[in-house]
Each structure stands twice: as structure tokens, then as C-alpha cells.
Amino acid sequence: MKAVRFHEYGDPSVLRYEDVEQPVPGAGQVRIRVAATSFNSVDGNIRGGFMQGPIPVELPHTPGIDVAGTVDALGAGVDGFAAGDDVVGFLPMDKNGAAAEYVLAPAELLTSAPKNVPLADAAALPLVGLTAYQALFEHGKLTAGQRVLINGAGGAVGGYAVQLAKNARAHVIATASPRSADSVKTAGADEVVDHTTTGVTAAVTEPVDVVLNLAPVDPAELAALVTLVRPGGVVVNTTVWMPAPSDEERGVLGIDLFVRSDAGQLAKLVGQVDHGELRVEVAERVPLAELPALHARAAEGAVHGKVVVVPPTA
């Protein structure tokens, strides 16, 4: 089968499109014929060798954390899936990923794919959708009627976060650049702040219950976000190289989010997609052979929106 792998850490030039032996599922695993994976920024960090501590991978390594595809073979002891089932999942970050024609996946990490989007496009959902869901509801404890500030809402996680918060009947304030302002409004934001012209702390005049920071802001700007939160509220931060600010005196928690795979939560997101309550946005569809070039574009900051990567058999 065809796969993209890197045999050493480094810049995008270490990625090779090559022939690899088709994997055989072990106990508890299924083999998936891949319809698509997607590109996530963490893929570049893993390839570059910057995540060897938290995410140790065995070389050569196939990237691709998200998967959408069709169950092709079952290992021993797998219940609940059959060959021919369409599935989506967030694969273990330290194992071989779905930038290939076939991939192995622990069955417990998979759920049925949404029915009303193309199967390949469903690969745009797992990691970013779960990041938004866990930030807002597991850590932020967001409920109806609360106010949430989503700082950096113009990216893929932000788009899901705005939709999910609105579906939960929260009041959503979102920061975005002029390039992404329309998409953030379409996602349902009640207020959109142009962060290129207006300081967030000046624009948000009433306290919020939850701040979700998705933007790589400077440390002073990140620290200032805590002042916008009411006593007892929370700041959830995804830029893990800077710790989330907190204010013990006012009971404001700072939480650093490390997203994890959760098939039950992913099934809830798929349900919202199937009910027309959650839109899966795909900016580009790229052939698997062009994944090295996609990594190179991402390293230059030239990738905007969610990109799915499609193998030759899909």
C-alpha cells in the first residue's frame, strides 16, 4: 500500500511517499481502508521532533491522527463493528496514523461516521471537534445562558467551538481577523471582535463565565484574559507552551487543555452533524502524495482552514 512516512525527524523534506506493507489487525483492533485523514498543526510538531517527550513515536512513522474510512478487517475480540462499516476516529498520537491507504485502530476509539457529509470530509471532525467539545464542556462547564469568549475563533477549532457554544444556548463573543470574520458570524457568534484593530480586553465590557484561548498570543495578552472572567469562572488554554492564567483570589481557574480521544464524545458530535446542528467545514482536499508539500505550506503559514488528505484508493 501507499503511505507517507518520515524515517527521521526534520523539516517537511523528511516526508516520503512510499510503498509499505499492509498492516494486520491484532486483538482489539480493526483495519480501516482510509477515505481520508486531515492535517493538524501537531503533525508538523511531531515530524519536527518537538514532541518527543509527550508523544514518543517509533521511526519510521506515518502521520495522520484523524481518520475517516471503512472497516476492512477485524482483529480478535472486536465487537460492535463489521467489515463495511463507515467509521471516524481520533487515533493514538504515538502510533502510525492514517496518511496511508490502510491503518490499524483500536476499536474502542472509533464511532460510526456521519451520514450526511462525504466520508472523506468526516476526517475534518475528530481532533478539532473534540478539542472544542472538551474545552467548553468538560473543562469550561459551559451551560445555557452563560457568556463565553472564544479568543482566536477563526481557525478550525474555533469554528466548532462557536457552533457548539451556540447549540448549548450560550452567548458567544469571538475574536477573529477580517479574513475569518464572516465564517465566525455564520457559525453563530453573537459578537465578533476584530483583534487586528481592537484590543480584546477593551472590547469585552461585561464579564464572561468562560474564556477559551485558541490563539498564540503573547504572554501579557494571555494573562490579561483572566481579568475578563467573573469570579468562579475559568480560562481554558490550548496553547500549551504558555500555562493558562488563573486568579486564586477571585476563584478563576486556569486549565491547560491536552485533547484526548473519546469515542463517546465523538459520537455526540457525529449526532449533531447528522441532525444538521454542526457543520463540517473543509477548506481543501489534497491527494496523499502531496502531503509533504502541504506540510511545507503549513510551515510557511500558508494553510488556512481544515485540509483533508485523500489516499489514491479513496
Tell me what the pLDDT averaged over the chain comes to.
Answer: 94
> What integer pLDDT is reported at residue 290 of this predicted model?
98
Q: Domain 128-256, what architecture?
A: 3-Layer(aba) Sandwich (3.40)
> What integer pLDDT is reported at residue 92 of this predicted model?
97
- The interaxial angle of helices 263-274 and 156-167, nearest 10 deg, is 70
Alpha-carbon distance of 133 to 229, in angstroms, equals 20
> What integer pLDDT is reported at residue 201 of this predicted model?
84
Alpha-carbon distance of 162 to 158, in angstroms, equals 6
Q: 192-213 pLDDT, tens per residue? A: 988 777 788 888 889 999 999 9
198 vs 287, higher pLDDT: 287
- In the chain, residues under CATH classification 3.40.50.720 are 128-256
Among 8-12, 32-36, 72-76, 216-220, the range scoring the smallest mean pLDDT is: 216-220
> What integer pLDDT is reported at residue 249 of this predicted model?
95
* Cβ partners under 8 Å of residue 58, min gap 6: none
> What integer pLDDT is reported at residue 276 of this predicted model?
96
Say if residue 82's pLDDT is above 80. yes
Reported confidence tier of residue 218, pLDDT bands at 50, 70, 90: confident
> What integer pLDDT is reported at residue 194 of this predicted model?
82
145 vs 305, higher pLDDT: 145
- The interaxial angle of helices 178-187 and 156-167, nearest 10 deg, is 30
Say if residue 240's pLDDT is above 80. no
> What integer pLDDT is reported at residue 149 of this predicted model?
97
How big is the chain by its Cα radius of gyration, in Å? 20
Say if residue 128's pLDDT is above 60. yes
> What integer pLDDT is reported at residue 254 of this predicted model?
95
- In the chain, residues under CATH classification 3.90.180.10 are 2-124+281-310
Say if residue 314's pLDDT is above 60. no
> What integer pLDDT is reported at residue 203 of this predicted model?
84
* Mean pLDDT confidence for 92-100: 97
**What φ, ψ does residue 175 adopt, rounded to 5°?**
-100, 140
Collapsed DSSP state (helix, strand, coil) of residue 4: strand
Name the CATH superfamily, with its identifier, for domain 2-124+281-310: Medium-chain alcohol dehydrogenases, catalytic domain (3.90.180.10)
Alpha-carbon distance of 201 to 24, in angstroms, equals 54
Nearest of 111, 8, 22 to residue 311 by alpha carbon: 22
